[in-house]
Structures are given as C-alpha cells and as structure tokens.
Amino acid sequence: MENNQILSLHQVSKNYGPIQALKEVSFEVPAGSVFGVLGPNGSGKTTLLGIIMDVLKANSGTYQWFGQPPHQDQRKRIGTLLETPNFYHYYSAIRNLEITAAIKGRGTDDIERVLKLTELWERKDSKFSTFSLGMKQRLAIANALLGNPEVLLLDEPTNGLDPAGIAEIRELIRQLGQRGTTVIMASHLLDEVEKVCTHVAILKKGVLLTSGHVDQVLANEDMIEIGAADLSRLEGVLSSLPDVKSIRRHNGSFQVIFTEGRTAEQLNRHCFEQGITLNYLAVKRKSLEARFIELTN
C-alpha cells in the first residue's frame, strides 16, 4: 500500500443486532485531501467515524491509519470534532483552550497558532458567550487543531449553524485543506461536499455506492442542451454521433449526454457541417445532486 493513503478501509462491516449499519465498506483517503463521507441520515456515516476513531468495534473488516494497523500513538496525529466540546461560557477563548490543552496533556504554546488559523486571535480575550455560532464552531475546530494533527475528523461540521456560520466553516475547511491538512468530514449536504471536498465516498444504508475524486464521481456527466429550427433533422444528426449516451427532448430543445467528453464547439461545428444552424447551445454540468439522486434511488 502506498504511504500517501492516510486512511484505508477494507471490507468494514458493523451491525446492531439485525440492523446492518455498514456493509463491507472499502475506500482510501489520500493525504492532503478534503474527503467527504456523504449520505442521508441513517446511512452509516457516524458509525463509520466511530469505528475509525476506535470508539466502536467493527464486526468484520480492517482499517489502517498512515499505512499501519490502528494503535494508540496514532491518536496524537488525528484531531477530532465529533461533538461540540463543553466550553465555559464566561471564560475567554484563550482560557477555554488552555483548559482543554491541559486535559489533552498538550502544551499551551500552540494556542496562538490555532487561534490565528481559525481567525479568532483578535477575539482571544472575549468571553465564549459573546461569540456567534460560527465563531463557537471555529473555536471547536481550533481546539481539535491543538498539537498540529495531520488529520482532522469532523462530523457534520456545519450542523445547527446559521448561513453566515456555515459559510465561515466551509471557508476554514477549504483553507485547512489548502495548507495540507487532510480533512475527513461526514455530511448529508450535497452542496457542502461539492463546494468543499476534493474526494467523496457516498454511503446509502451502510453500503458504499461509489468513492473517488469529486470530479471523477461526476465524470463524463456533462449535459449539452441544444436547439435548432428543424428539431427532427437535429435529432437525426445527433443520433448518428457514435458517442451519444442519451438524448432527451426538453422544452423545444434536446438534452444530450455523451459517453466521452465533447466540447460545445465540436458539436456546433459538426451540426453546421451537416447543414444545421443551432439557435441554442448550453453546457450544463450535471450537479452532484443529480448524480446523488441517481445513485441513491
């Protein structure tokens, strides 16, 4: 196994009595990725995080961190935010982190770094109770970053936040990824994974539907919408193309999906050569949402 895999799961299964929470799940998390574990509620995401954090035991299957079987020393290399820490409302941000650093057995020399990283340094002396929802969550992430872990594990990091807080946390996660921290986050929000993650694993009822680079999971799914005055002739020309996957009539135009990526320019030229002048041409990238619905139905 290559060392650039931070985490690899091999056929991990977990059941609670007759309920199968995870069924032979296998995937790999590359170093430096922002990896989204995506699925509706009840898909097994939280169970999966519990297993890789050694809070739950799998019924079968194995996993490795940093290319090695799990052992206690690895915990220092992993920062977690699985539920919001209990911060003291009337203490300042810096005091709260001093307390959690002491509980974790970590020095306080890292506090300035994590507060600057989460853009809370200016508010370090403000009481926790005066913080917005987004700031409270950023402090929780700062807390998880104490000791400079290589990996950050987040369970639904934007749950319960207002729109401003959601935007703040997403931006922070993106920045952490750009700095080289590997982030593994569970989410039920397609939009979030599409905006924040580089890689994704999609779970449904404990079964892994697909995993890989976000762009590959959505690969070759661009749709070109195309129209002309003579639609039946246009349909004939489109049908004769070798790499057409599907053609669908839609409001006086056609929605075409190709098995190989085709540019709008190539298609325009082809139609023109066949004597058809297009009056409408648009490329619609198939969103993760459409792909997700297709996968989970």
Residue-level pLDDT at 1: 37
Is the confidence at residue 190, as pLDDT, over 70? yes
Q: Are 116 and 148 in contact (CB under 8 A)?
A: no
Same domain, 263 and 163: no
| Domain limits for position 261 | 223-296
Span 236-260, mean pLDDT? 84
Same domain, 208 and 253: no
Model pLDDT for residues 69-79, shown as the tens digit of each residue: 998 888 889 99
The confidence band for 139, taking pLDDT boundaries of 50, 70 and 90, is very high
Span 285-296, mean pLDDT? 63
Residue-level pLDDT at 248: 85
Same domain, 188 and 97: yes
Give the contacts of 269 (CB within 8 A, at least 6 positions apart): none
Same domain, 126 and 201: yes
Last residue of a domain, one of 178, 202, 217: 217
Of 23-37, 113-127, 243-257, 270-284, the range with the lowest mean pLDDT is 243-257
Residue-level pLDDT at 40: 86
Burial bucket for residue 91 (CB in 10 Å: 0-12, 13-18, 19+): middle
Q: Say whether pTM exceeds 0.95.
A: no
Same domain, 32 and 128: yes
Same domain, 155 and 24: yes
Q: Are 199 and 289 in contact (CB under 8 A)?
A: no
Tokens 């929802």 locate to: 133
The confidence band for 278, taking pLDDT boundaries of 50, 70 and 90, is very high
- Tell me the sheet residues that pair with 127: 92
Residue-level pLDDT at 2: 42
The confidence band for 207, taking pLDDT boundaries of 50, 70 and 90, is very high
Tokens 């004597």 locate to: 275
Span 181-210, mean pLDDT? 92
Give the contacts of 33 (CB within 8 A, at least 6 positions apart): 6, 177, 182, 183, 197, 198, 199
Residue-level pLDDT at 285: 64
Q: Hey, CA dihedral for 133, 134, 135, 137, is it positive or negative?
A: positive
Last residue of a domain, one of 217, 233, 254: 217
Span 280-297, mean pLDDT? 69
Looking up residue 212, the CATH number of its domain turns out to be 3.40.50.300
Residue with the bigger pLDDT between 288 and 124: it is 124
Same domain, 171 and 262: no
